[in-house]
Structure 1
Amino acid sequence: MLVAVAAGVALLEGHHDDIEDLEDGQDSERQGRILFPFVSIVRFANTECSSASTLNGTCLARRECNDLGGTITGFCANRRGRCCIVSRTCGSTSNVNNTYFTSPGYPAAYSGGSTCSLIVHRCNAQVCQLRIDFLDMVLAQPDGDGNCISDAVTITGGNTVVPVICGDNTGQTLFVDFAGNTPITITITATAATVFSRRWNIKLTQLGCDCPGIAPNGCLQYYTGTSGTITSFNYGTAANQALSTSLVTGTRQMVNLNYGICIRMEAGYCSIQYAQAAGDPYSFTVTGDVEGADATVLGTALGAANNGACTTDFVVIPDPVVAATQVPVGTDRFCGIGFVPVVSNVKPFVLYVVTNANEGATATAPPDIANRGFSLAYTQVAC
Structure 2
Amino acid sequence: MKLFTILAVLSIASGAFAAVAKPTCGGTSSSKDTQLLTPTNPPRECVYHIKATSSYVCQLRIDFAWTLGQPSVPSDENDLAYVECVNDYFQVGDLRLCGTETNNHIYVPFNRTAGVTVVDLQIILASRVGYTGLPTPSWDISVTQLECPTGASVRDLDFDMRSDLEFTPEARATIKDGFLVAPPGCLQYFPSKSGVITSFNYNKATGIYPGNMNYAICFRRDTETTSLQLRTYHFQLGSENESKLMSLDNYCYPQVRSSTKSQDYLLVPQAQIENSDIFATYFCGESLDGAIVRSTNPGPLIMVFNSDAVYKKTEAGFYFTYKVL
Q: Scaled by the length of structure 2, what TM-score is found? A: 0.73
CA deviations on 1:90-131 (whole Å, 9 max, x unpaired) are: 1111111111112212xxxx6x54211111110110111111
Q: Counterpart of 1:218 in structure 2: which amino acid?
A: G
Pair member with larger Rg: 1
Correspondent of 2:283 among 324, 334, 338: 334
Question: Superposed, which structure 2 residues align to 1:1-383 within 5 Å?
Answer: 56=8, 84-105=19-40, 113-134=43-64, 136-145=65-74, 146-156=83-93, 163-180=95-112, 181-182=115-116, 183-193=118-128, 194=131, 195-209=134-148, 210=152, 211-240=178-207, 252-266=208-222, 268-277=224-233, 283-289=234-240, 302=244, 305-311=247-253, 312-325=263-276, 327=277, 329=279, 331-339=280-288, 340-346=291-297, 347-359=299-311, 368-381=312-325
Compute the RMSD of aligned alpha carbons.
2.8
Q: Is the 8 A contact 1:273 1:323 kept in 2?
A: no
Which runs of 5 or more residues in structure 1 are unaligned? 1-52, 60-75, 157-161, 241-251, 278-282, 360-367
CA deviations on 1:293-343 (whole Å, 9 max, x unpaired) are: 9xxx7xxx8477111221411101112223224x462x4110002414322
Q: Counterpart of 1:94 in structure 2: which amino acid?
A: S
Identity %: 28
Q: Is the 8 A contact 2:187 2:216 kept in 1?
A: yes
Whole-angstrom CA distance in 2 between matches of 1:120 and 1:131: 12
CA deviations on 1:184-213 (whole Å, 9 max, x unpaired) are: 111111112353211011111111103221
Aligned residues: 263
Whole-angstrom CA distance in 2 between matches of 1:267 and 1:226: 13
Shift of 1:254: 0.6
Which runs of 5 or more residues in structure 2 are unaligned? 75-82, 153-177, 254-262
1:8 counterpart residue number: none
Shift of 1:179: 2.8
Q: Is the 8 A contact 2:19 2:33 kept in 1?
A: no
Q: Is the 8 A contact 2:58 2:110 kept in 1?
A: yes
Q: In structure 2, do the counterparts of structure 1 residues 89 and 370 end up closer, same or farther at CA, with 3 Å as the change threshold?
A: farther
Q: Secondary structure at the match of 1:212?
A: helix
Q: Is the 8 A contact 1:130 1:204 kept in 2?
A: yes
Whose RCO is larger (CA < 8 A, sep 6+)? 2
2:156 counterpart residue number: none
2:164 counterpart residue number: none
Q: Counterpart of 1:232 in structure 2: which amino acid?
A: S
> Segments of 4+ in structure 1 off by > 6 A?
none
Whole-angstrom CA distance in 1 between matches of 2:187 and 2:286: 25
